[in-house]
Amino acid sequence: MTMSTPDKDEDYIYDWNTEGDRVSPPMKPIKYMDETLRDGIQSPSVTDPPIEAKLEIIRLLDGLGVHHVNIGLPGAGRRAVDDCTVLAKMISDENLNITPCCAARTHPNDIQPIIDISQKVGINVEVMTFLGASPIRLYAEGWEHSTLEERTRSSVKMAKDAGLQCTFVTEDTVRSQPALLSRLFNAAIDEGADGLCLCDTVGHATPDGVFNLIHFTKNVIRARGADVRVDWHGHNDRGHSLPNALIAIEAGADRVHGTILGVGERVGNTPLDLLMVNLKLLNQESADLYQLGELVKLVSEACVWPVHPSYPVFGKDAFRTGTGVHAAAVIKAKNRGDDWLADRIYSGVPAGWFGLQQAIEVGHYSGISNVKAWLASRDIEQSPSVVNAIFEAAKSTNRLLDEAEMMAIVEKHQ
């Protein structure tokens, strides 16, 4: 009996992620904020990309449907001002859909350059004005609550008086006290803030912490009857950044921040690329993500940040297998001409969605079918002498054979 290729995943995949009871509430559509060119390049191990690469990164982000991009912190100096100006002008000149923003301390010296860039380029550049709010930060800085409220009000007012969008950002929000957060959030709302950004600056939060904080913030906004956006900005110090971002969406966040490849201070930020992949798999993202791999490659090269082989989806091992049992199943699907099946039989992520494909390699765990598949993928004749020679070589090693080793055997035994 032959089986037709299924039209829908659910015909042959029972998904325990969506079937049955739910622990969390359903998601809603959100906006993305890319922070690669601001928070990402603050990583101590990355290289600040040349302006040409930054321009192309933004074009690719725009093409993938990313809604907002942080183009830098102009208060850092002349080079930052120049780069932000060029990037904002490109977004305006090329009529991109992506919206630029810039980071700023709650200080006029940081906010004024953003106003100047916006007026020079003729485009609304959102001000992301940030202020530390946790007790440990206040203790270290010697700040008083009244001082923080004054800075909150003056910075938001300065941005709004200039006609710019403004999001008030509390650093280390997940370790901040509710009374102070409420005071600062209400002050920001008083002055016309368009959004409140909740930051897990040191990667402290667990999913429960994210959920509780967002619900608290939503209640503050609801009590005011205000129309104010809630952002989530997470770091990965405890390895929670991606699940925390998903929980943030479930909890009601309107915009989620991340960086490509998760680059950022210490161990990095929420990986925006993997967040988009997961939302695609959860049917919460309708955009074509075919160019996401190109963006990941560009950021990796421009920032001199190698992609780990086992990095999900975009690492070189993400869709490779040298294991005989796994390869045999993929090969059987390919032999049936069923690309849908071949892309899912041993993969939770369809490689084809991202312009990639399943790869069969040959090593010490491989079977004869691996060898034949490898040869077939390169249009090399599968003569018994070549197949046996490769198989014997593979079984005598403790790793995968690389391309050069395989071809040397082929040339010797053809």
- For the record, the structure tokens of 414 come out as 């053809």
Higher pLDDT, 8 or 287: 287
Ranking 130-134, 242-246, 326-330 by mean pLDDT, the lowest is 326-330
Q: What pLDDT is attached to residue 64?
A: 96
Confidence of residue 1 (pLDDT cuts 50, 70, 90): very low
Q: Among 3-12, 265-274, 309-318, which is the least confidently predicted range?
A: 3-12
Helix (H, G, I), strand (E, B) or coil at 173: helix
The angle that helices 292-302 and 272-281 make with each other, rounded to 10 degrees, is 170
**Would the pLDDT of 205 be above 50?**
yes
Q: Which residues are bridge partners to 70 per DSSP?
A: 101
**Mean pLDDT on 362-388:** 89
31: β partners: 255
Q: Please calculate the CA angle 359-361-362 and round it to the nearest 5 degrees.
A: 165
Q: Find the mean pLDDT for residues 138-166.
A: 97
Residue 226: its H or E element? none
Q: Is 225 left (phi over 0), alpha (psi -120 to 50) or beta?
A: left
Q: Using alpha carbons, list the distances in angstroms from residue 185 to 131, 167, 182, 194.
A: 12, 11, 5, 11
* DSSP string over 375-400: HHHTT----HHHHHHHHHHHHTSSS-
Cite the DSSP H helix spans in 195-271: 207-224, 241-251
Percentage of residues of the chain with pLDDT beyond 70: 96
DSSP 269: B
* Polymer length of the chain: 414
- Residue 3, pLDDT > 50, answer no
Q: Is 95 left (phi over 0), alpha (psi -120 to 50) or beta?
A: left
Can you tell me the mean pLDDT for 42-67? Answer: 96
What domains, with CATH codes, occur in the chain?
31-302 (3.20.20.70), 320-413 (no CATH)
Bridge partners of residue 231, in order along the sequence? 197, 255
Look at residue 25 and give its three-state secondary structure: coil
Residue with tokens 């980071």: 103
**pLDDT category, 7, cuts 50, 70, 90?**
low
The pair of structure tokens assigned to 281 is 């798999």
pLDDT at 9 over 70: no
Instruction: Answer yes or no: are the C-beta atoms of 260 and 196 closer than 8 Å.
Output: no
Q: Strand 126-132 vs strand 166-171: parallel, antiparallel, or unpaired? A: parallel
Average pLDDT along the chain: 92
Closest to 79 measured CA to CA, from 55, 113, 104, 46: 113
Distances (CA, A) of 393 to 94, 325, 378: 55, 19, 19
**pLDDT value for 335:** 83
First to last CA, the chain: 39
Displacement of CA 382 from its chain's centroid (Å): 42
Q: Is the pLDDT of residue 5 over 70?
A: no
List C-alpha distances in Å: 406 to 389, 390, 400.
10, 7, 10
Tell me the average pLDDT across 68-77. Answer: 96
The pLDDT tens digits for 209-227 are 999 999 999 999 999 999 9
pLDDT top residue among 75 and 322 = 75
Lowest mean pLDDT among 136-140, 201-205, 230-234, 371-375: 371-375
Determine which of 170-184, 231-245, 381-395 has the lowest per-residue pLDDT on average: 381-395
Question: DSSP string of 100-151?
Answer: EEEEEESSHHHHHHHHHHHHHHTS--EEEEEEE-SHHHHHHHT--HHHHHHH
Average pLDDT over residues 360-365: 89
